[in-house]
Structure 1
């Protein structure tokens, strides 16, 4: 049996914690690819710095159709990875958003937020909120990013994400409803297989967030009062039948319906599927169905 500093005192889904305080991620390496001009879809992408202290960046995607005569909806996307892994610059997310922008004819801003253990929770929430505020700073057409100044329709803004990113997207919609986001109308939120409380991963989230308020922390277990204040008109929730996060996602849907929130919410269950299957098998029939539903939600007038 291990002893001393080599002893593991906590074994979590995504990392181990050693007696000497070290945190060792099970998947420490996250491949990243550069932005590009896609010759197939015509979508262009580039990376921008939102903040240096703390470090927050994003990848922006612009569709081929973009011109100065038509303003396009904006999707602010938050990647998954259990609050401790992956990146807005990971191949799966770059490919997903490149294809999404081409199909939906929108601008996408994919935020690169701080990850545990380098930056414990709530860095992910604060960085994502800073990213969304940065998008809003362009609503008077004089922000730092020309693509947003020239092409964005700030009355048609959406937030969305998968897994941890679905959880963070909820908090963004809540902040818009309570704090406001001047110059922006948040139309909808899309939560794909969101990471909410009620599973064996609860203790992992509590460990990643030293300032937590326990199992009823509203970021993991939103209460009815918070749900009633979501600052958007529509919510689309995906859950996967074989995902251990399925039941928390369904509970979120039921609580939102009963909360008194005045918007419309839809739940889609991906039967027979695992967590975030669509990112790994994008050409699979059910992945195409999820993608098409997501696109339709954003394109809907």
Structure 2
């Protein structure tokens, strides 16, 4: 007869919770790959430690064209994974950002934040904010990372993320608009298939965030006040037709337009596609189109 501890009390999309308090993730541990100098694109990458306590790190990507004569836009990227899986160091995200950096000719910083259950929400928000502040610490050219000191234009910074990373990107923009980010101008933001409230995933997020304020928590259900003070001028939102999160993404777009925010927002619907399809095959025609749209958004004057 099974012990009471083996009884599952909550079944979520990505993990089960047992009566004895154990949380068992359903997905395999994410394979992490080292940074590299890519012979095909010429993009170089390296890993940096942002904070040891709490543990926050990042992978930095530098395009082949980088030299000391011209500063390049900087992309701060927040990976997805339902707040409980994936990594800035996974093959999936390494290859995506390597490709994007080569095509957009930008410097990219991909933050590695704490995941549930080891570090419950709000660790992901706080770690990502620490990462963005660390990036900003280089705006005077005297930060700890030479690649950022030498090559990044801190008046052309973009924040982007997919799924949970899109959600986290929103919270970063609210903070930038509320308290500022000295030395940095966040020009635009990209939210790819963002994870907001209004679906079966709501209860999972509430469980992962013990300090939540319910279904109306502004981190999951952005309110007009927060939307109105986003700290950037342009926002691009992607939604996918066959994604459970499509409606929340569309609602975010509509609410942002009505909020009184002074910037411009655009939405792109990926017809016939599933959640974050582009990460599965970067050579797939529609994935290529998504990346091209992202590149044009960053290059837009």
Pick the TM interval, shorter chain. over 0.9
Residue 189 of structure 1: how far off its partner (Å) = 0.5
Structure 1 CA distance for aligned equivalents of residues 28 and 104 of structure 2: 33
Residue 282 of structure 1: how far off its partner (Å) = 1.2
- The superposition leaves residues 107-137 of structure 1 with CA deviations (integer Å, 9 ceiling, x where unpaired) of 0000000000000000000000000000000
Residue 3 of structure 1: how far off its partner (Å) = 4.8
Structure 1 CA distance for aligned equivalents of residues 224 and 113 of structure 2: 27
Give the SS at the match of 1:42.
Answer: coil
Residue 279 of structure 1: how far off its partner (Å) = 0.1
Structure 1 CA distance for aligned equivalents of residues 53 and 9 of structure 2: 33
Corresponding pairs, count: 301
* Larger CA deviation: 211-220 vs 20-29: 20-29
TM-score, length-scaled by structure 1? 0.99
Structure 2 CA distance for aligned equivalents of residues 216 and 111 of structure 1: 27
Which runs of 4 or more aligned residues in structure 1 lie more than 3 Å from their structure 2 counterparts after TM superposition?
A: none
* Larger CA deviation: 114-123 vs 279-288: 279-288
Match of 2:265 in 1: 265
Give the SS at the match of 1:58.
Answer: strand
Matching of residues 98-247 of structure 1 within 5 Å: 98-247=98-247
Change (3 A) 1:18 1:237: same
Structure 1 CA distance for aligned equivalents of residues 77 and 193 of structure 2: 14
Give the SS at the match of 2:160.
Answer: strand
TM-score, length-scaled by structure 2? 0.99
Give the SS at the match of 2:215.
Answer: coil
CA root-mean-square deviation: 0.8
Residue 299 of structure 1: how far off its partner (Å) = 1.0
Matching of residues 38-57 of structure 1 within 5 Å: 38-57=38-57
Gaps of 5+ in 1: none
Residue 28 of structure 1: how far off its partner (Å) = 3.8
Match of 1:72 in 2: 72
- The superposition leaves residues 176-227 of structure 1 with CA deviations (integer Å, 9 ceiling, x where unpaired) of 0001000000000100000000000100000000000000000000001110
